[in-house]
Chains A and B, each alone.
Chain A
Amino acid sequence: NAGVTQTPKFQVLKTGQSMTLQCAQDMNHEYMSWYRQDPGMGLRLIHYSVGAGITDQGEVPNGYNVSRSTTEDFPLRLLSAAPSQTSVYFCASRQGGASGELFFGEGSRLTVL
């Protein structure tokens, strides 16, 4: 199993551009989520999904959209990038039910100029 795969690993955008960060998992996990991590801070939850067709907002959802059309994929869209969205983004997944173990991707480092 590849686990949780994120692409791209690095991206530079100009203010106002749009892009999509891809996340795929091959563990048939029900739950998927996106976090952002800024220097000196912990991870903050952006959006999450508990199954295909179901998404909800986390702590810092503004400026980001998500969709979950399949169990495997959970893309994060930036419609109009802003410098405040410069960050490292992590995708994570876990099984449904009682287990709390999250599996994380390796991260996507985004710079908005």
Chain B
Amino acid sequence: DAKTTQPTSMDCAEGRAANLPCNHSTISGNEYVYWYRQIHSQGPQYIIHGLKNNETNEMASLIITEDRKSSTLILPHATLRDTAVYYCIVRVQGYSGAGSYQLTFGKGTKLSVIP
């Protein structure tokens, strides 16, 4: 799987949009971008994923650049409950090999939402 690079930490004011960047310059054409987050001491939680089109769900939006070398997770109106570590992961989807089920988590970005 392609390697990702994320800032170590970010701050965001409560009620403002949080924009979390991720660089994945070695991404392959069949690799998807996934975002998870981990609130302190809890198990990671899935947020969103996409291939090349922008995606939106009830939690967030995912913007992927046209060359797919980077992406941005957007939390439109950050709340204190969004304070967490956010992980950006790229992996192949649909490959039948057992290894395709693995997700490699890096160190992520620690987002602090400030009142």
Which A positions have Cβ atoms within 8 angstroms of B? 4, 31, 33, 35, 40-45, 48, 50, 54, 56, 58-59, 88, 90, 92, 94, 97-98, 100-107
Q: Are B108 and A102 in contact (CB under 8 A)?
A: no
Which B positions have Cβ atoms within 8 angstroms of A? 32, 34, 36, 41-46, 49, 87, 91, 93-94, 98-99, 101-108
Q: Are B43 and A48 in contact (CB under 8 A)?
A: no
Given A42-B107, A100-B91, A101-B46, verify A48-B41 contact (CB < 8 Å): no
Given A42-B108, A106-B42, verify A100-B93 contact (CB < 8 Å): yes
Q: Are B49 and A100 in contact (CB under 8 A)?
A: yes
Where chain B touches its partner, the secondary structure class is: loop
How distant is A90 from chain B, measured CB to nearest CB, in Å? Answer: 5
Residues in chain A near residue B41, CB distance under 8 A:
88, 107
How distant is B67 from chain A, measured CB to nearest CB, in Å? Answer: 22
The answer for the CA separation of A98 and B94 in the assembled complex, in Å, is: 5
B91, B93, B103: most-surrounded residue (chain A CB, <10 A): B103
